[in-house]
Amino acid sequence: KNQVEQSPQSLIILEGKNCTLQCNYTVSPFSNLRWYKQDTGRGPVSLTIMTFSENTKSNGRYTATLDADTKQSSLHITASQLSDSASYICVVSGVSGGYNKLIFGAGTRLAVHP
Amino acid sequence: DAGVIQSPRHEVTEMGQEVTLRCKPISGHNSLFWYRQTMMRGLELLIYFNNNVPIDDSGMPEDRFSAKMPNASFSTLKIQPSEPRDSAVYFCASTTGAGYGYTFGSGTRLTVV
């Protein structure tokens, strides 16, 4: 069964600290993996997208890694800011019926406190 | 680019009423998706259009839900009759056929009382 599991479910850190969010998936065949940030009351916004051959991709203070062999990904946030408080959703794209189908993780809810 | 535009942003309606949610995808995107998000179930795909044709509607909960895409720049999701359990945030997203540029709208928060 195609699944995407994220951990932790929620996380509280102090402003300025780093954190790492985890994503394990069993989606096959695999097309790409995306990390989205969703602020409260807003739609998800793409942070990174990685294909099978990419191991790491950065977007400012956000760095995503991908190990396609172990089917694991992480999102590292450096020097956190209050504005990083949001839900972070891991989304894996697989091909089903000839079309890209997105499988969503449940998200990690991050709270950055001053 | 204005992104994916959804309307209304908020909708409060009484049980039994018809509700219509609207979406304008990004120009040039030929795939459109409707999602529902709740605290309990997260993001769920309801229906997916490619070139205005419904491809996968297996996520549509029941016959009360229907979606149309009369042209490449407009889609609607209709609930008739609405029920309190339909209360959720409904998102529309669009992308190119290759799956890149996947962009969500800001969502419609539906409350059925």
* Digit-coded pLDDT (tens) for A53-78: 899 999 999 999 999 999 999 999 99
Token readout for B25 is 């995808």
Q: How confident is the model at residue B99 (pLDDT cuts 50, 70, 90)?
A: low
Cβ pair B63, B55 in contact under 8 A: no
DSSP B85: G
* Residues A3-54 pLDDT 10s: 899 999 999 999 999 999 999 999 888 888 999 999 988 899 999 999 888 9
pLDDT bracket for residue B95 (50, 70, 90): confident
- Residues in chain B whose beta carbon is closer than 8 A to a beta carbon of chain A? 4, 33, 42-43, 45, 48, 50, 55-56, 91, 93, 98-100, 102-107, 109
Token digits of residue A112: 């950055």
A30-38 and A19-25 strand pairing? unpaired
Q: Do residues A110 and A61 lie in contact, with contact meaning Cβ atoms separated by under 8 Å?
A: no
* More confidently predicted of A51 and B78: B78
Question: Cβ–Cβ of A99/B109 closer than 8 Å?
Answer: no
**pLDDT value of position B1:** 64
pLDDT at residue A95, as a whole number:
72
Determine phi and psi for A109, rounding to 5 degrees: -95, 115
User: Does residue B55 carry a pLDDT above 90?
Assistant: no
CA B3 to chain centre: 15
Q: How far apart are CA A25 and CA A2, in angstroms?
A: 8
Residues from chain A that touch B91, judged by Cβ atoms under 8 A, are 43-44
